[in-house]
Chain A
Amino acid sequence: MTEAAGWRERVEDTALLWGLVGVVVILSVLPLARLLFEGIAPDGHVSTAALARVLGSSTTWVATRHSLVTAFGGTLVAVVIGSVVALVVALTDIRGRNAFVFCFVLPLMIAPQVVALAWLQLFGPSSTVLKMIGMAPAMGSRNPLYSAEGIVVLLGVQYAPLVFLTLRAGLRTMPQELIEAGLAAGASPMKIVRTIVLPLMTPPLVAGVALCFVSCLGNFGIPAFLGIPGNYLVLPTLIYQRLAGLGPSVLSEVAVLSVLIGAIAVAGIWLQDLMLRRRDFRITTTSSVMRPFELARWRLPVESALWLLTIVVLVLPLVALVLTSLVPAVGVPLTATSATLANYEYVMFEHAAAKRAFVNSFGMSATAAVVIVLLAVPLAYFLVWRRSRLLRVLNLVAEMPYALPGVVLAIAAILVFLKPLPLLGISIYNTIWIILFCYFARFLVLGLRPVISGYYQLDRTLEEAAQVAGARLLRRLRTVILPLIAPAATAGALLIFLTAFNELTVSALLWSSGTETLGVTVFSFQQGGDSTYAAALASLTVAVTIALMLSTLLASARLAQGVLPWRG
């Protein structure tokens, strides 16, 4: 061996690392940088015309106010529900915990537009459920959900699981001694929750609040279904309406709007950081997990309250959705004779766009899941086992497209791909590839997180043993690491598939004839007044989602705690 000893190994390492860095930069940095550039220099010339036009328009500020009102309101509702439920589930001895967690987290996995559609079917004059019990409001009266309050409640219901999940993850790391020390000092359980648990849980709670706020802010499905009919526009729906109505000519303006909503989101995240930096929340002891508080005679009432919550926020809306999908036309009461499967038949076999949407959504979600996981396994290898400053930055960069509202990424992608690709001369605008690009960018972090946690559970000597046996990096990844990381990678793939499958925000802005997704098709049906078709299609996506979530529970024993959010 000479000076060149090991050059193949070095080349392989370096090529793989820089290849991955390149991919992440193209997925994350390029679109966002392009968007910022458009904000400063529309069409390549520095100009404040678009900026002035947008910022000078009252519509912008009305939508901004609406966005802030609904995001704060939704966050408040979500934090109240989510944190109470998290404390009860994590700290007390309620029964049926796993089943409850599954049901409680379900709204997070179902598409927001489906949640909105389901709730719309529950209330309002044409509600099949209310008609069945004879309580439907008079025809022509307004659905009470078409309002700011409606949006706030639904955002709260949709994202309460986010607060729940972050808080529960924190509670799981809380050492039992801290509580026992409180009990030994004579404090009651309620006092312990107030004076020990909640103060220590500030970081996860604040993180959950920030996550929830950003999610509410970026949500498109709920304000689209509930706000557009009543002309209550928030920033994402304003962007959608501008772009759908006027096309790419308004790109510079919507770019400014996107930057605006992105800035609000970043402010939220920054505020979170600021709040947590001022105090030291580190827990100094580590030990076994907590033993739950005994609820004793309160157990049954608490359990009943939890399940009542489940019925109200999950079961009733879904039942309403399914019932609507079974009536022949909007407003027709559901009876044994009027019930029909014709809506399902129509969306599955007759309606061309709906049929395409199945193929598109399945295909793109599966592709995104597989490709992202194949990227995530080597990427996480470098992130976990070859820590460096570059890689820490890369990790943050990979989070951005998911942390920022979906419309931001969609507009950025349009800006990048509106013109044909350099060198190749082909344009992917108006093809499924632009949607797929956004899926890769946006959901990369969903695959990355479980894979990273998988690496942390893996004994590195397993890789080192392969290395001294002479295996180079790619072979080690293929023969040793991939098989061992497979459970975590599968969980990541499933999260990506489910999220992409139920996605609307990105595709609503990027779809064209032939590239419809299921989310877009449900949205189109509902906008066209075909609620029964929308309900049938939505019911099908819910069924697929629940079936996939249930199937993962069978294999979840091999996964780290917290990888699958719906696991108890």
Chain B
Amino acid sequence: MARLTIDRVTKQFGEFRALDDVSIEVRDGEFMAILGASGCGKTTLLRQIAGFDKLDAGRIVIGETVVSSTALHVPPERRRIGIVFQSYALWPHMTVAENVAYGLTVAGVKGAERERRVAAALSLVELNGFAERRPAALSGGQRQRVALARCLVTEPSLVLLDEPLANLDVHLRAAMEDEFARFHARSGTTMVYITHDQAEAMALADRIAVMDCGKLLQVATPSRLYREPADEKVARFIGEGMVVPVDVQVVEPGGTCMVELFGSRMRMRCSPSQTPATDAHACLRGSDLRIVDASTPGIAVSVVRAIYQGGFFRLETRVDQTPGLLLHLTAPEPFELAANTALRVQVADGWVIPAAAKG
């Protein structure tokens, strides 16, 4: 167990900046998810932490030890970390037990001690009866668990998981998610979990680091990420947030403010340091949008498209006042829809996105 400090790490591939000044502090025993679309730099970051690539600037510290800096590079074999690869990377020419025992053999652990620890690791992932099988004779979920046992048997200070559920089918994913969560609770190991799936990250992680184009956008707990996105990109990326222009008129103590949204005044949540601004933006969630009758104050919209999603419709609507802007919301069944149906929508909640730090 150890904390992990990623301190202003930069990695350049030719002209392309794969990691741009990324800093993340992972606490001891924390489950940190690194979330981003493919190509956002999350795999590059994992390879930096593991030591497969050298960095161009910054440093990485595991526990109290600097493992990567421009002056020094501890090779992966010395970092005492565990990785669960997306492809599992089980050695096909070894049995399950041999796969799990490999790290111990390398470390010079022999005989009964090695057997005991392999058996313990296998029982931790509930694969006791499978020691003599070959990886090819296992199901996807079992392979996943062998990979987990293999990386934990040497009691690494830090475990990296590279999209470990990406190759599993949907129902197995849910089961494995539970397994990871329980496993993390039991072992207390510091874990860094790379994923592009926000539902997975939200379900598992203590905190989530959102990345885009090699930059770190926000590190926060799942609920904070959802409720209080730090910028427009995070707002749009997490939970399909809608970004709308607002005029912040009065900032109240306690993190709320009065804004004008499409001509109507309402109260929104905001950062305590928010200042009145005419060019601010807010993040709205589909679940906070309600259809109201014409007599109630609200925003006038017209329906562009209605998609039936089983039990409810997802409506995509155009704001009459700002035709370029689309809002989406759900409408329960039954819902009568004519072309260009005009609706009135009330916004129950919103979050004023903090202005980007100047400088």
Contacts and interface: CB of A to CB of B under 8 A. Distances in A.
A1 interface: yes
A310 B80 CA distance: 61
Contacts of A465: 83, 85, 89-91, 150
A475 interface: yes
B87 interface: yes
Nearest to B99: A465
Interface stretch (B67-75, B241-249, B317-325, B349-357): B67-75
A5 interface: yes
A465 B110 CA distance: 20
Contact of A9 (B78, B92, B103, B107): B78
Given A9-B75, A462-B89, A468 B102 contact: no
B235 to A, nearest CB: 35
A146 to B, nearest CB: 55
B106 A475 contact: yes
Given A461-B85, A461-B89, A468 B65 contact: no
A479 B98 CA distance: 11
Contact of B77 (A462, A472, A483, A484): A472
B92 A484 contact: yes
Contact of B103 (A462, A464, A470): A470
Contacts of A472: 77
Contacts of B89: 459, 461-462, 464-465
Contacts of A466: 91, 102, 106
A483 B93 contact: yes
A117 B72 CA distance: 65
A459 B93 CA distance: 14
Contact of A470 (B67, B83, B86, B106): B106
A6 interface: yes
A472 B103 CA distance: 11
B102 A6 contact: no
Contacts of A475: 106
A464 B78 contact: no
B91 A470 contact: no
A384 to B, nearest CB: 15
A470 B77 contact: yes
Interface string B93-125: 100000000110011000000000000000000
Contacts of B77: 9, 467-472
Interface in B290-339: none
B33 interface: no
B74 A5 contact: yes
Nearest to A475: B106
Interface in B185-241: none
B38 to A, nearest CB: 17
Contact of A1 (B74, B90, B93, B103): B74
Nearest to B153: A469
A431 to B, nearest CB: 40
Nearest to B50: A468
A479 B73 CA distance: 25
Nearest to B65: A1
A462 B91 contact: yes
20 contacts: A1-B67, A5-B67, A5-B78, A6-B74, A10-B75, A459-B89, A461-B89, A462-B91, A464-B89, A465-B89, A465-B90, A465-B150, A468-B77, A468-B82, A469-B154, A470-B103, A470-B154, A475-B106, A480-B91, A483-B93
Given A461-B89, A465-B90, 11 more contacts: A1-B74, A1-B78, A459-B87, A464-B52, A465-B91, A466-B102, A468-B50, A468-B79, A469-B154, A471-B106, A484-B93
Interface of B: 50, 52, 65, 67, 71-83, 85-87, 89-93, 102-103, 106-107, 150-151, 154
Interface of A: 1, 3, 5-6, 9-10, 459, 461-462, 464-472, 475, 479-480, 483-484
Report, nearest first, the 5 A-B pairs whose CB atoms are least far apart.
A469-B103, A461-B89, A465-B89, A9-B75, A6-B75
